[in-house]
Amino acid sequence: MKPAAFDYACPDNLDEALALLAEKGEAARICAGGQSLGAMMNMRLANPAALIDIAGLAELKTIAVVDGAIEVGAAVTQAELLSWPELVDRQPLLAQALPWVGHYQTRQRGTVCGSLAHSDPSSELPLALALLRGEVILQSRKSRRVVGAADFQTGMMATALAADEMIVGARFPITKAGEASAFLEVAQRHGDFAIVAVAAIGDQQGARLGVGGVADTPGVIELGWPVNDTALNDFAWSLGGADDQHATARYRRELVRRLGRRALEEVHDALS
């Protein structure tokens, strides 16, 4: 289990990284923490001709609140965001979701944006981004654009990234007054890919519920109070999960209904 040969580039700044990406295009992959990409490369499921390592780029190592969102640079690790002192106040949902991402050791290398770029259907951060209606900031040598979560995640491990683009940051909207959130996950072991993960956020008017681990990308619906079981059930069916060796589609739908309800109830309880 050894990776195929690749060029390794360690640019000194973002401009260098973008120029190289423009030159190499699809043959190159951006590598930040490499906790998913590295494993895939070791198994030779992914064989990029070049890796562009952005982990050391200081300009991407920032966490800041910008225009009502926590803007997380592409070199910020999951552990760094988790230990950011303002996190719980600014967006408790992220503080609830991040401990579910991998393990202590992988969170210290794995980045927040890398997880979004990987877009694994079971992973927690794409779910959080989708639920919060966050955005990713994509940059190429020529342009910079901000894309909403729903448009960014186009399918299983597929995103709207163009060949010459990289994620330079992600924007997670900060919590508003009167909002509460919940995050629940079922996996067979601590730290495994979620069989089902649910995230909910809401206020007195209503709530949004997001589900990961079932469809190719996170699914999100809006619901009012009280929790409507028919809507939850229709949502569970609409995600169209499949059987795999760990769980049946029917079990996944049941978890969507049950955990969905529980998460919404937690939000509701926190509001009152």
Closest separation between CB of residue 228 and another protein, Å? 11
Contact 36, 5 (CB under 8 A): no
Quick check: 58 binds another protein (CB under 8 A)? no
Closest separation between CB of residue 175 and another protein, Å? 25
Whole-angstrom distance, CA of residue 204 vs CA of residue 224: 9
- Rank residues 83 and 204 by Cβ distance to another protein and give the closer one: 83
Contact 101, 110 (CB under 8 A): yes
- Rank residues 51 and 180 by Cβ distance to another protein and give the closer one: 51
How many residues belong to the site for another protein (CB under 8 A)? 83
Q: Which of residues 186-225 bind another protein (CB under 8 A)?
A: 186, 188-193, 195, 216
Closest separation between CB of residue 108 and another protein, Å? 4
Whole-angstrom distance, CA of residue 102 vs CA of residue 82: 13
Whole-angstrom distance, CA of residue 189 vs CA of residue 30: 30
What radius of gyration do the chain's Cα atoms show? 18
Residue 25 carries which DSSP code? Answer: G
Quick check: 269 binds another protein (CB under 8 A)? no
- Rank residues 18 and 207 by Cβ distance to another protein and give the closer one: 18
- Rank residues 89 and 244 by Cβ distance to another protein and give the closer one: 244
Closest separation between CB of residue 243 and another protein, Å? 8
Quick check: 3 binds another protein (CB under 8 A)? yes
Closest separation between CB of residue 254 and another protein, Å? 6
Quick check: 270 binds another protein (CB under 8 A)? no
Q: Which of 145, 146, 237, 269 binds another protein (CB under 8 A)?
A: 237
Closest separation between CB of residue 231 and another protein, Å? 9
> 89: phi > 0 → left, psi -120 to 50 → alpha, else beta; which?
alpha
Neighbours of 133 (CB within 10 A): 17
Quick check: 16 binds another protein (CB under 8 A)? yes
> 25: phi > 0 → left, psi -120 to 50 → alpha, else beta; which?
left
Quick check: 43 binds another protein (CB under 8 A)? yes
Helix axes 229-238, 249-271, angle to 10 degrees: 140
Scored b (16 or more CB within 10 A) or e, 144-171 reads eeebebeebbeeebebebeebbbbbbbb
Query: Site map for another protein, 84-123, x if CB under 8 A?
Result: ---------------x--xxxxx-xx--------xx-xx-
